[in-house]
Amino acid sequence: MGAQWSDLKTVLHVVRGGSLAAAGAALGVNYTTVARRIARAERALDLILFERLADGYVATDAGLRVAKQAAEMELHELSLMRELQGVDQRLSGALVVTAPQLLIGPFIAPVIERFVSSHPDVNLHLKASNEVMDLTRREADFAVRISASPGDSLTGLRLAAQDTASFAAPQWAEKLAQGPEVVVDWIVYERFAQVPMGALETYPNSRVVMTCNDMAAMLGAAVAGLGVVRMPMFLGRTTPGLFQVPALAPRSYMDIWGVGHPDVWPSARVKAFRDMLVPSFRERRAEFVR
């Protein structure tokens, strides 16, 4: 009798994740279950797949070979499950949607409210995340993304174009009106930790006073009056206490897309959600641009 697929898959995730804990997190089980499955696979194959060292499990050559074959088996499994989901025309069951956190409240939540009311048998799971989830690996069925393109292997619809502009608390509008000599305090994102391009042309005394790794934190700091933030126009317009200020002229930004894997795109649940989301965004396109 050969090894069970669940055990081979566990071998793959230990090799892929580098530890029992990482494999358990990926598989949704605890590390003792991972260890038990590894031992069961070794008995079934009559091979040692991992060396048990003080600092963890290290794959043997046999373990690496099993993991390589299991990875190919996993791709076939994922492909089959996507295809089956794509031909599923039931408006019941699970639907996993992912979207950037700050888009959800003002734009996606109203759509979800209508969707769950119209389709009560669909169990909608919303994953609020700025991370790009892997739709090929079925981490989500449908994604709203802010991107220059939806991805070559995905099917997508552009929901809205976007512009960015500068926003701040009301007192900054008064300061900026005093003239170009004003010292302008900027709150910037850590990936672009400098005064935004173009701001120094209008206000040469601009400076960075705070660097953040999270847009929600930047919004809070801006509402508190700590400085000016460049952000997508929809975000500045929907955040109470912020106003557009002329510290930086509006500029084009990445578009908002609705994307899915081509295999899953025809699914009745995905289509029903898409049919509500797309018109809603398109009706509100003016809120995203200058």
Identify the bridge partners of residue 243 per DSSP, sorted by sequence position: 168
Which is it for strands 185-189 and 56-59: parallel, antiparallel or unpaired?
A: unpaired
91-290: CATH topology = D-Maltodextrin-Binding Protein; domain 2 (3.40.190)
Residues 6+ apart with CB under 8 A from 179: none
Q: Which of 263, 253, 262, 259 is nearest to 277 (CA)?
A: 259
**Structure tokens of 2?**
């050969």
Segments making up each domain of the chain, as ranges: 5-86, 91-290
Whole-angstrom distance, CA of residue 231 vs CA of residue 242: 11
Residue 184 confidence (pLDDT): 97
| The predicted structure's pLDDT at residue 197 | 85
- For the stretch 115-120, contacts whose Cβ atoms lie closer than 8 Å and that sit 24 or more positions apart, written own/partner, are 115/272, 115/273, 115/276, 118/272, 118/276, 119/91, 119/92, 119/269, 119/272
Identical fold, 5-86 and 91-290: no
Q: 10-residue block means of pLDDT along the chain (290 residues)?
A: 88 96 94 95 96 93 97 96 95 97 95 97 96 93 90 87 97 93 96 90 95 94 97 95 95 95 97 98 95
Model pLDDT, residue 1: 59
> DSSP 3-state assignment of 141?
coil
Length of the chain: 290
- Give the pTM: 0.86
Domain 5-86 has CATH 3.30.750.24: no
> What secondary structure, in 3-state letters, does 153-213 show?
CCEEEEEEEEEEEEEECHHHHHHHCCCCCCCCEEEEEHHHCCCCCCHHHHCCCCEEEEEEC
* pLDDT for the residue numbered 150: 73
pLDDT of residue 63: 96
- pLDDT score recorded for residue 55: 87
H or E stretch at 6? helix 5-17
